[in-house]
Structure 1
Amino acid sequence: MRTGLALTLRATQVAGTTAAVVLPALAVGLLQRVRYGPPAGRRHVNRRLVALLMALGPTFVKAGQVLGTRRDLLPRALCDELSLLQDSVEPLDAAQTAVALAEAYGADVAAVFAELDARPVASGSVASVYRGRLHTGQDVAVKLRRPGIERVMAQDLALMRAGAALMARLPMFRGLPVNEVVANMSGAVLGQLDFEREADNLRRLRKNLSEVPRVWVPKVYPEACRPRCIVMEFIPDLAVNTAESCSAAARKRFAASGMAAMYQMLFVDGFVHCDMHPGNLYFTRAAQVVVLDAGFSVQLTDRLRRLFAEFFMNMAIGRGVYAAEIVIQSAERVAADADLPGFTERMADLVVRSHGQSAQEFSLMAFAMEMFDLMRRFGIHAAPELIFPLLSLLVIEGAIRALDPDMDFQEAAKPQLMRGLFGEGGIHGR
């Protein structure tokens, strides 16, 4: 009964906040549409929708971040605005930290840690991170889950699923996988609460990426971990601007290692870190690439991993019809009235045009955006397991371009593509 009442109160709060933001946004958007044209009206509404998600709290922010990757379904302009969402939450204070530690360790805090600084070194909506030291002498980073965050997220996601069920019945959403998209989004958000799985993900990434030179994934200390806390190697002096003060040669090494790590995940291992934004990707003065926070990771099936590799290979050599056929094969759903020959023709043209570009001219982002526009127009809905890794590749493109403007993304992929398709790591070697 108390759970039902809490959900009702939260639903009332969400509905009130939504109405207070959306109704004025639509009115102003209509005025801007009349005065400045349709793009201006849409831009205003999209920005107010992003402001609404931030006002509704961390669950809605994370949901918006995940939904912003679905460029095969949502308008590009809305996805661009959703990509700007920031997970900005006040760090836990001393009292909240004490509660979180008690929930994670009970009376065993002193038995696990020789030292633990109560001031967070980083903070997000799900957890705060602290610096500590184990009794064995290792300096560690302690990722501690916020008290009560599970209840808040469970309530909010229940409301989102109910809203999706209603939307799916509306004529304008027929033919779109509304329930499936929201269910997948819910799984991605809730997955970031599963610290035992995240610790396992870090161990897997550390093992898989040990094959890539100059890539560092922190070691996890399982004996110190708990279901509400991950304890891992502390990596000192991490800063998002380290690369800016390094030599051009070092920056090129950063770029090469970063892309090698990404391609190793995509084409060889099939286990992909899907959140490689600058807050999870760092560079050290020793020319190492540091990968953090594996809570949002996806395991591709062998079939999808191979299809992804084959698509990238055909894209790289300009075989457009084959690339289009792979997009169709890998789709989660194809609309009953989809014009597959029309899609194949336009997709093949996109591949051929891109193949003719130089390394400096070619943009993964521009290619993917045009491909997603085609998929949306022709009713081809991609499997989420492929969308998330692809968007991770697009996220890292900007960072790599800043490090090495001459990076040839297609040429750099060939070693891992060959391994993934034909070598020890590929399906024939398993």
Structure 2
Amino acid sequence: MVFLTQNTSRQREILEVVFRNGWDYMRRLLTVGKAESPELPTPTVLRNILVDLGPVYVKFGQLLSTRPDIIPPNYIEALTALQANVPPVSWTNIETLLREQLKAPVDQVFSEFNREPVAAGSIAQTHRARLLDGEEVAVKVQRPGIDQIVEQDISLIKSLAELVARTDFGEDYDVVALAEEFTNALRAELDFTQEATYTDQLRRNLQNSNWYDPKQVVIPAINWEVTTPKIMVMEWLEGAPILSAKLPKAEEEKRRQEVTTLLFRVFFKQIYIDGFFHADPHPGNVFYLNNGQLALIDCGMIGRLDPRTQQILTEMLLAIIDIDAQRCSQLTLELSESSSEVNLTNLENDYERMLRKYYNLSISQINFSEVFYEILEVSRNNKVKLPSNMGLYAKSLANLEGVARGFNPDVNLLDEVRPLMTDLFRNQILGSNAIPTLLRTTLDLKSLSLQGPRQMELLLDRVTSETLSWNLNIRELDPLRRSIDDSANRLSFSVIVASLIIGAAIISSNAQTPQLSLISNVLFAAASFIGFWLLLSIWRSGRLK
């Protein structure tokens, strides 16, 4: 066992943290190598373990919180609130890293550089500075040496995943593949040029829209001249997190509604039109600027949706509004990566029970993010494996709705969605560019019109020549066929037993020689044996009653 055979101080530290926080299941798994049944720690215990293990595991927990498709909502809530209790890195170490990355002393690039960070996280900390040309910027600096720590902890996370993979829980959710996915995401966060690229892409996407005034939305511009894999320099935005924003008293209610509508439209465009969205819109990443603009920051976590998935999710939103359990089931199976073993009846029944509690509620009373979490829970319970981007989608909607309700408690999601529905369906039918879509449709219709007569001629020819055959594969038909075969066999044996008894009785009544008496006795014995065997088989099958 890799984890236990390698004796390092870090591994001993992990064992001590697990034992100290009382996760008995993992204690048995680490010491014995197996455990009776999967047993997650309580959300509080899991959060404490990750905090005690340090910044890398805190970041790992934050990434895990983006997968509500595999862990319950109470764990999502606990992991979402994870914050690493890490002190800021000393200026000496920060200055050394800046000099290495910039290939020049700090004062040759910045005219001012505030040595005290404005924010410090598990991977990086942010400083306020001014470039030589006078532009005020925010400088995100990676914690020195964090890349080596990440690589060390990644190997341990993968070893832990191999241990958990031996359990039923690990097999059901392919824990090794999940660990690979999370560790790749963790490595990606160490490359600030990727986050800068995402930031630029989001800004370009949001610059054009008929749903809102693009001038009211700000994504910080990246200064690529001084951005490196470990340093990201972007424009400084003057404002405050949206939930602590100060609005003019005279028009506060009106302004809150305007900003809420703007927030929803900005994110609905990202999700349902662009398929490229900010996947972490928690209150600290949505700013209300002093000039009244709305700003999105920290674009390191991005979700992607292909056009087919966008269409299914739009229909899912309508199915939820209509409280349509059957349609929710069908759409879930369309999203599923593997649905061959899913019992559709059970899935529909679970959706029916889940949606029943919303029957008598008005739309304004429905928490849609909670509904999506419950949809993921129903899928999880029915062994429906959904794509990983569904977790990011649900988490983004939950954060978005949470921020909107915190900023404007009177928000009604349906009122925000309804005006956009026509555009959403037109976009799904025609795409973002109608002309190429219409040209493709025209070519498809032309191809169909040319091939249709020939295909119809071929079909009629096969029908008239009696060479047409049908291949039908009906689910659950084999068990029915076997049941009918068993019944037919038992009926045949019953007829045989009755025939033997009648024949034996006729021979016995007219037996005038010892040979005929022997034949009669043999027939009675055979009938008795077959009859006893038939009764025994029916009794063993449980269908005697």
**TM-score band w.r.t. shorter chain:** 0.7 to 0.9
**Alpha-carbon distance in 2 for matches of 1:377, 1:304:** 22
Residue 128 of structure 1 corresponds to which residue in structure 2?
125
How far residue 428 of structure 1 moved from its aligned partner, in angstroms, is 6.2
C-alpha distance 115-16 of structure 1, shift in aligned 2 (>3 A): same
In the TM superposition, residue 220 of structure 1 has moved relative to its aligned partner by: 1.1
Q: Which residue of 2 aligns with 1:34?
A: none
Whole-Å separation in 1 of the counterparts to 2:430 and 2:65: 31
What amino acid is the match of 1:83? T
Q: Would you say the 8 A contact 1:313–1:417 is kept in 2?
A: no
Q: Report the more deviating stretch, 360-369 or 269-278.
A: 360-369
1:208 to 205, 209, 224: 205
* Partners of 2:239 and 2:288 within 8 A in 1: no
Instruction: Letter of the 1:248 partner, please give it.
Output: E
Instruction: Encode CA deviations 1:212-264: one digit per residue, 9 max, x unaligned.
Output: 43221111111221121111110123245443554121111221111111111
- 1:320-399 matches, cutoff 5 A: 320-334=325-339, 337-347=341-351, 350=354, 354=358, 357-399=361-403
Contact between 1:238 and 1:284, CA under 8 Å: does it hold in 2?
Answer: yes
Deviation of the 1:304 alpha carbon: 2.3
Structure 1 match to 2:234: 232
Letter in 1 for 2:403: A
CA contact (8 A) 2:238 2:289 kept: no
Residue in 2 that maps onto 1:423: 427
1:167 paired to 2:172: no
Query: What's the counterpart of residue 13 of structure 2?
Result: 13
Question: For residue 272 of structure 1, what is the aligned residue in structure 2?
Answer: 277
For residues 35-50 of structure 1, what are the structure 2 equivalents within 5 Å? 45-50=42-47
Equivalent of residue 177 in structure 1, options 161, 171, 174: 174
Task: Give secondary structure in 2 for the equivalent of 1:279.
Answer: helix
Worse-matched range after superposition: 74-83 or 221-230:
74-83
Relative to structure 1, the CA distance from residue 426 to residue 218 in structure 2 (aligned partners, 3 Å threshold; closer, same or farther) is: farther
Tell me, in whole angstroms, the C-alpha distance in 1 between the residues paired with 2:325 and 2:171: 30
Which residue of structure 1 lines up, in the alignment, with residue 262 of structure 2? 257
Deviations 1:97-135 (A, max 9, x none): 112212321225334322222221111111111111222
CA distance in 2, matches of 1:425, 1:98: 54
SS at match of 1:136: coil
Uncovered stretches (5+) of structure 1, i.e. residues with no partner: 28-41
Q: CA deviation at 1:160?
A: 1.1
* CA shift in 2, pair 1:333/1:63, >3 Å: farther
Whether 2:201 is the aligned partner of 1:197: answer: no
Query: Does 2:144 correspond to 1:147?
Result: yes
Structure 1 residues 104 and 240: alpha-carbon distance in aligned structure 2, compared to 1, 3 A threshold: farther
SS of residue paired to 2:337? strand
Q: Which runs of 5+ in 2 are unaligned?
A: 28-38, 438-545
- The change in CA–CA distance for 1:43 and 1:401 in structure 2 (over 3 A counts) is farther
Does residue 309 of the first structure (1) align with residue 311 of the second (2)?
no
Q: State the identity %.
A: 25
The residue type equivalent to 2:92 in the other structure is A
Residues 354, 367 of structure 1: 8 Å contact kept: no
| CA spacing shift, 1:172–1:319, aligned 2, 3 Å | closer
Distance change >3 Å, CA 71–CA 23, structure 1 → 2: closer
Contact persistence 1:269–1:425 (CA under 8 A): no
CA RMSD of aligned residues (A): 2.9
Of structures 1 and 2, the larger Rg is shown by 2
**Aligned residues of 2:285 and 2:297 also touching (Cα < 8 A):** yes
Against the structure 1 CA distance between its residues 352 and 205, is the aligned structure 2 distance closer, same or farther, given a 3 Å change threshold?
farther
- CA deviation string 1:160-197 (max 9, x = no partner): 12211221122343322222322222233222212111
Letter in 2 for 1:153: V
Which of 69, 75, 79 is equivalent to 1:78?
Answer: 75
Aligned residues: 411
Question: Alpha-carbon deviation of 1:318?
Answer: 4.4
| Partners of 1:361 and 1:409 in 2: CA distance | 10
**C-alpha distance in 2 between matches for 1:306 and 1:194:** 32
Aligned to 2:532: none
Match of 2:98 among 82, 96, 101: 101
Q: In the superposition, relative to structure 1, how do residues 259 and 329 fare at CA in structure 2: closer, same or farther (>3 Å)?
A: same
Q: Take 1:222 and 1:187, find their aligned partners in 2: how far apart are those partners?
A: 24
Superimposed CA distance per residue, residues 391-429 of structure 1 (whole angstroms, 9 cap, x where no aligned partner): 111012122112223322133124555444423996463
SS of residue in 1 equivalent to 2:363: coil
Is the alpha carbon distance of 1:286 and 1:25 closer, same or farther for their aligned partners in structure 2, counting shifts above 3 Å?
A: farther
CA distance in 2 between partners of 1:65 and 1:107 (Å)? 35
Q: Deviations over 1:345-401 (max 9, x none)?
A: 432564576476323311023312322221122111221112112211101212211
Amino acid at match of 2:320: M
Moved more, 338-347 or 159-168: 338-347
Residue of structure 1 aligned with 2:183, choices 158, 181, 186? 186
Paired amino acid for 1:270 = G
Q: How far did residue 312 of structure 1 move?
A: 2.1
Distance 1:354 1:265, change over 3 A: farther
Amino acid at match of 2:306: T
Distance in 1, matches of 2:409 and 2:64, equals: 29
**Secondary structure at 1:174 match in 2:** helix
The whole-number CA distance in structure 2 between the counterparts of 1:220 and 1:330 is 36
Q: Match for 2:232: what amino acid?
A: I
1:167–1:117: structure 2 CA closer, same or farther, 3 Å change rule?
A: same
Helix, strand or coil: the match of 2:239? coil
Cα 1:405/1:17, change in 2 over 3 Å: closer
**Counterpart AA for 1:278:** P
Give the structure 2 partner of residue 222 of structure 1.
224
Q: Distance in 2 between matches of 1:415 and 1:194?
A: 39
**Contact 2:243 2:403 (C-alpha < 8 Å) held by counterparts:** no
| Letter of the 2:115 counterpart | A
